[in-house]
Amino acid sequence: MGKASQLFYKCRYFILNLHQSFNDSISYEQGLSQFKEGVSEVLGNQSSSLLLDPEYGWDAAKKLNKDIGLIMAYEKTGYDATEKGRLPNLVDHYALQDLVKAGASAIKLLVYYDHQEEEEINNMKTTLIKRVGDECKQNDVLFILEPVSYSAEGLDSKGTEFAKRKPKIVEYFMEEFSKDEYSIDVLKVEVPVSIFHIEGYDQYDNYQPVFSKAEAVEFYRTCSEKCRLPFIYLSGGVTNEQFIETLRFAKEAGAKFSGSLCGRAIWKEGVKPFANDGKDAYYQWLETTGSENLHKVMDAIMENATPWDEL
């Protein structure tokens, strides 16, 4: 892990995610860039590292202190819905060495993956992962893979039927992409069971119980045991409160995660003041509510994550 030591704090990762887009109220390019600049300047400099995209992230990257790690996404946002298999595409105009030369200390690649997809499609994806892994080794930069689950059969990713299948998909990720042939340093993964799909967590508006607590504990533990790399959880668009509770549940289940990459659970409420109330109100939100959200998650990581040097 020496090649990217600035990415973590006390051997735990807390990565702030700004490689995401917003709703229609902020759809123009200048707005994306300005929003990210604010999050980077106020919240990014309180994190161990910041994930940005090369399309809209360079101005935000300039706001980071030198001791904050910069992670650059290597894939285009989204996927071609008209193409079978959700095949990934790399960003235009930037080779990996360009991102490293510009200051990236780690490269993140997102790949949609279902191990029950057609073999030819999955072969294309694993080949790409291996190529990026080799590029990262050649450029002495950390490689973070983000495999994201989906249903090759077309199940709704937010539905309960898909939720029943998701633990096995995540378990496959953890085992398969731990193999040396991919040259991955860190896995950024979904939790196998969302907190609102676990019986007993009925305080949440989106509560849809799918598994008992005992079943969910087993899924978290099994997925963790399958992984032979440091892994971090992504927040997956849940609320700040839900994500913190998820991290607590993961520790209780025995999952040895080493941190998180958290985005919308921290900053998504800042979109409204940015869009409606102007720069001053936006920065005030960042310095108050945004910072509070950030430190709640950071505290939860310090309390519940396993330092990677203890794995």
Report the mean per-residue pLDDT for the chain.
Answer: 91
CB 160 within 8 A of CB 124: no
Question: HEC string of 263-279?
Answer: CHHHHHHHHHHHHHHCH
Could you read off the pLDDT of 278-298 as tens digits, one per residue? Answer: 999 999 999 999 999 999 999
Could you read off the pLDDT of 32-82 as tens digits, one per residue? Answer: 889 999 999 999 999 989 999 998 899 999 999 999 999 999 998 776 766
**Which range marks the domain in which residue 194 is found?**
2-310
| CATH code (residue 281) | 3.20.20.70
Query: Taking residues 258-262, what's their average pLDDT?
Result: 91
CA 14 – CA 263 distance, rounded (Å): 11
* Run of H or E including 133: helix 119-138
| Model confidence at 311: pLDDT above 70 | no
Could you read off the pLDDT of 31-42 as tens digits, one per residue? Answer: 888 999 999 999
| Domains identified in the chain, total number | 1
Quote the strand ranges of the chain, DSSP E.
8-9, 12-17, 49-52, 69-73, 106-113, 142-149, 186-189, 231-234, 259-262
CA 297 – CA 276 distance, rounded (Å): 27
Provide the 10 A C-beta neighbour count for residue 252. Answer: 13
Q: How confident is the model at residue 200 (pLDDT cuts 50, 70, 90)?
A: very high
- Give 8's strand partners: 13
